[in-house]
Structure 1
Amino acid sequence: MDILQNFKLTFYNYIGNQLLKTKFSKLLSSFEGIYLGDSPETSEISIIDSQTFLESPYAYSEPFEATLIVVLKENAKDKDLILEKGGDFFLYEDSSESEISHRLEIIKEYFSYKYQAQLLQTIFHKAENSIVITDSCGVIKYANQYFISITGYRKEELIGATPVHIKSGLHDEAFYKNLWCDLKKGNGWSGIFVNKNKNGKLFYEEANITPIYNNVGKIISYLKIGRVVERERLLSNELNKEIKKAKDMIAYMLPIKYKDENLSLNSRLKAYNYLGGDFISFNKISSSKYILSLIDVMGHGASATMIGLKAISVFQTAIFYESMTKSISMVNDVILDINKDEYFITRYISGVFIEIDLEKKVINYISAGHPDFYVRDSSGLVSYSSNNMILGIAKSTSLRVNTIPIKDSKYIYVYSDGLIENGKNNLDSQIENLENIIFEAEKNKERFLKTILNKAIGDSEIDDDITMAILEFNYSL
């Protein structure tokens, strides 16, 4: 599963035949995450019948990121020509709804990976850290602009070669032998390199190297993230700005605003001025079952962010074929494995994982050392406390699952601890104040999360991320 969820695809419908146009407009509008654009300028994809497309291919393909061609029966033989003239995706005019849905899923997956790759490319290229990826033998396959600049070599001189270019000669053979011994065992490495640039000038690089595995557990690459120590000090203010920008980009990984006949979800993130580890995921895993989760990595910095991304990615993938308890256990095992390495800062994760089962009319939850979450029903606002230890401390043989009957529940509200630990008052006062704010926020559900954030924090400086979500029930069970 992708971790990048908060994007939508907008189609502009150019189909000439009115009945066909109406058919596809209706189908597109019913598909989650897909919208019909008001104009070509606000749309990423054009949908056009093959006959109209062939009359003027440029007009229907060039302004868009992709083109979906509805192939008419009379143009079935012209598919190669359509492809040659800029058609990207195809459907037939008599395609069934299931065939159309399958094709749209493929298009969404394509754009999801495309946008995720663009996001990572931007982060890698703009980062004020050196980022280098090598193959399993240490041959450089990728180097970002920061690394290229500090070495003084051209990209062409670095790619395809080992880092021998920048060795200063000040590290002995035992240094590199121990480094490779750790890496080949699957351990990470952390330390200081004394390197030299093309002009012979020495520079000190603080670096972390991490193995990258394929699907069968074999090491295929290594990722090195480093920083030039003196440069970091000189540019600390600028780095803070860049890190803040990177943190803002993580907001795009929040779940997309969701609504169906059963539930509505909205989420919000207020980022601290450092990279952190708050992440939310929301998945509909069957026709009657939904999963909402919020994890919070203890600590800040790139390691917290990477661990958070890893944890939420593992959970989002596992939840579609494993139980909630098994999926959380898999996350726990991943964090334990990371924490085994003495070279890395030990990180733990608190989290709340909520399963809505509409068939059984219950809410099942596992809260691993996380702040209370709230369920609003006719009796009032009911808080539910942690029922398990935080993740990453010990091997979990069993996780405790608590069950709440849905009954007349109106909504579920979850948040990270940054919301109640940023105030000047003690924690009990902060929690009591939060509950009062929640009741006040109910007056305008469209601004529910914004009201809570404004009332609880206002313009105060924060020293932690604040992430929250509201999951509303849209019908009476």
Structure 2
Amino acid sequence: MVLKNNLVGKDHSIINQHWSSTGTMNLLLITDNEAVRVEIEQVLNETELVLDCLASDEVKQLFAMDKELSATCVFIDDSLAKSDLLSICSTLIEQSTEHILSILLLIDEENQQNVLEEAFEIGIFDFIKKPIEKWDLLGRLNAMWHLHRESMNRRKNEAAMNDLLEQFRLNISALKAAANAITITDRNGRIAWVNPYFTKLTGYAEHEAVGKNMRILKSSVHTKEFYQQLWDTITSGKVWRGQITNRRKDGIIYHEEMSITPVYNKLGIITHFISIKEDITERKEMEQQRLDDLQVAKRVQQSALSLPFEDEEIDFSAIYLPSSELAGDMYSWFKIDETKYGVIVLDVMGHGVPSSLVSMSVRSVVGGFITKTIDPVKVIKELNDHMLELFRHDDSYINHYFTAIYMVVDLKKKLVEVVNAGHPSALLFFDDDELIELKHTAVPVGLFDQYEIKKEQIHYKTNFQGLLYTDGVVDALADDYDEGMQLLKKHYDGCKGNSMRSDETIACLERTLKERMNVQTDDICMLHVRIK
């Protein structure tokens, strides 16, 4: 085979440029004839091609050690014994899938019939007659190089296709194994594919679902507007996420959390939708059970609050506005004897269920402490002991405590005794116009084993009014605490009066709170007492 003139110049510049720009052509010569080696090297001397040479014994030693030969083209000289030549050809052909592109025999004309027929049966590429013509050799190499490039490109394409198929199989396997239901629908909502979990979730087998519209799952729970909003979202190219209630094949209602994603073709047109469905039925039922339990606990907690009270000498009233279903705020009043009343307002650290449980625990014992112990200092001390015992085995670093104001009113002695354990100041009005803002006389309850508790004793002459509250009241009036306190004093002064009952004062303050409060962030509790 002779190269065309427009492919190779006299100095081989084009063939050199072609080979060097596309890769390296590795050549191997197997010969026991030194003259053949020299002849081949002279032909290749003006090219950039590299030639390695091995004798037949060296090749057999490499094969004996399970070594593989790597070359783009292997020349095998017929100077080898016929058996060695055919054996080497056969072994190289076995390796050719990964390493050897072509095998060329260098053969004398007299040996053609003796060797070629068997060699071609084994699978050699071609042969070159000796003596070797330079242009014949270079032409063969050029042809083999093109064949090599095509082979490499084909292998790359096959590898890429195999990788793509493997990734596709992996994706399908992942979708089938997913613990969520997955569906693919066409542009009109007809089901094209479902994974096995879809059957587990809905009861519809794949052959029952494919071809049907997703409306087979529709329940009567949602409105037409709900479905229209969903459809408008996905057909506009957006992802829809939300919770939906559907109906199984057996008619049972179930709940799912679902996302629907549009799929586009190369022209940017939506052709399909992929939906991923997570069964949240059990979670929804647990949430509903929790809400039901909270409602029961809320009713229990509110039933423990003291009811409004009024007689000829004194009246009590209060409001209780939890920021969540349950709260840590609590108030109570108790008739100790015919002339004494005990009043307490407390605020347990935190919100929700934990603080409400602590509050209920305190409520279960405070009545006994107040009616038996009476003295404010001793009552607060017993409550402190109760809190320490309640959390004696708690190894967490959380401090469980509450703030409180406990007040004893003695109508016979016209005496008010008060302990403020870390609580917001009590607002006390004596004898029509004298205001006392009673601040802390002790630290919050439950922090320390031993600490000093002081009580304030205040005598009144004719009448007395007192407002006890939690810090949520001040927070509702203003973001700044000092500003909130000033507003509370101002509004309390406008809402109280000797002729106003406690429930009227509380109602007046509640209207003010609701007018100024945007969002309630803390529990609110207010208690008012009036001595007539």
Structure (1 or 2) with the larger CA radius of gyration = 2
* TM-score, normalised via structure 2 length: 0.43
Structure number with the higher helix fraction is 2
